């Protein structure tokens, strides 16, 4: 089984003819994802990716003609909020935005707009998600994954790849891998993903990769303690970061003494989560927890 995307995913790519959009659409198609449409205003009627994908002027037109049910956005930051809103207006139930550098002041009303229309947003500034054997929606490398029992949710793209590669090399596959992004304002969060994995019968263990800054990990720890019965393994990035200095993501900053790695690790351990001291330990801890079940 899986969460959010699978073999029934019908993907629409906003910005398919741009450099990033074209490159990653080829990779998604190569993995086996069903890409049914691209949207680029002014290029309707054309075909992209070696004539494989029809291009439409609007998301609404694309949805009406192809029954797309997921949209991925490869649109520059100044235009990405409008692209997200257009997808929500067209009835797309799941919107994935990879775009970086969208101002928080733009994301607050955009996220509220998407929620009001009943859609789910993943991102922005995230690597997307991948269900092994089902669908790759984003930039997570398909070569490092395998089908199996572990759900993965992470703020960090590169740490996600490292953890998944190590799991696969130990013979431990994944149900779905989700990169939620590390911006201050994001759509789908840790708790959303923990609930999805808790409800998925085929997910037997969960990996959660967090980082310094904010309180999302502490809130996730409280949720795990109250609602998650499956073993959870975690890692917190940025443990040596100095206070007041942003490390990587816009949300990864310790401010006013809040959001430290020590606080997050203590909260997770108090909830029964096994916390790795370094990324290389994640896969071994998962293996131990699976064998204990």
pLDDT tens per residue, range 135-179: 999 999 999 999 999 999 999 889 999 999 999 999 999 999 999
- Token couple for 268: 């997770």
CATH class label, 11-122: alpha beta
pLDDT at residue 257 in the model: 53
In 10 A of CB 262, how many CB atoms?
A: 10
- The 3-state DSSP composition of the chain as helix, strand, coil percent (nearest 5) reads 35, 20, 40
Q: What are the CA-CA distances from residue 152 to residues 147, 282, 288 (Å)?
A: 12, 11, 16
Is 227 marked active-site? no
Q: What are the CA-CA distances from residue 27 to residues 112, 139, 147, 285 (Å)?
A: 31, 8, 18, 31
- Round the average pLDDT of the chain to a whole number and report it: 94
Burial class (CB in 10 A: 0-12, 13-18, 19+), 106: middle
Question: Domain segments of the chain: what residues?
Answer: 11-122, 140-292
Query: pLDDT (tens digit, 9 = 90+) per residue, 200-251?
Result: 999 999 999 999 888 999 999 999 999 999 999 999 997 766 665 555 555 5
User: Beta partners for 179?
Assistant: 128, 154
Topology match between the domains 11-122 and 140-292:
yes
Q: What is the CATH number of domain 140-292?
A: 3.40.50.261
């Amino acid at each position: 089984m899986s969460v959010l995307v699978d073999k029934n995913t019908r993907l629409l790519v906003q910005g398919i003819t741009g450099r990033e959009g074209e490159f990653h659409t080829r990779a998604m198609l190569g993995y086996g994802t069903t890409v049914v449409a691209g949207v680029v205003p002014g290029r309707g009627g054309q075909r992209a990716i070696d004539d494989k994908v029809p291009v439409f002027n609007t998301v609404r037109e694309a949805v009406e003609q192809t029954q797309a049910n997921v949209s991925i956005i490869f649109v520059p930051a100044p235009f990405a909020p409008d692209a997200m809103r257009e997808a929500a207006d067209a009835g797309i139930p799941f919107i994935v935005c990879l775009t970086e550098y969208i101002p928080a002041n733009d994301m607050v009303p955009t996220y509220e707009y998407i929620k009001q229309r009943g859609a789910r947003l993943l991102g922005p500034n995230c690597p997307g998600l991948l269900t092994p054997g089902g669908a790759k929606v984003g930039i997570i490398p398909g070569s490092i994954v395998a089908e199996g029992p572990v759900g993965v949710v992470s703020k960090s793209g590169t740490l996600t790849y490292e953890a998944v590669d190590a799991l696969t090399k130990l013979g431990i596959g994944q149900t779905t891998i989700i990169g939620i992004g590390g911006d201050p304002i994001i759509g789908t969060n840790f708790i959303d993903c923990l609930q999805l994995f808790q409800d998925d019968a085929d997910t037997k263990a969960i990996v959660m990769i967090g980082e310094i800054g904010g309180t999302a990990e502490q809130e996730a720890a409280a949720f795990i303690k109250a609602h998650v019965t499956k073993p959870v393994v975690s890692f917190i990035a940025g443990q040596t970061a100095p206070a007041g200095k942003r490390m990587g993501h816009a949300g990864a900053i310790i401010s006013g003494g809040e959001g430290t790695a020590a606080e997050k690790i203590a909260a997770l351990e108090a909830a029964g989560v096994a916390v790795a001291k370094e990324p290389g330990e994640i896969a071994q801890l998962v293996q131990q927890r699976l064998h204990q079940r």
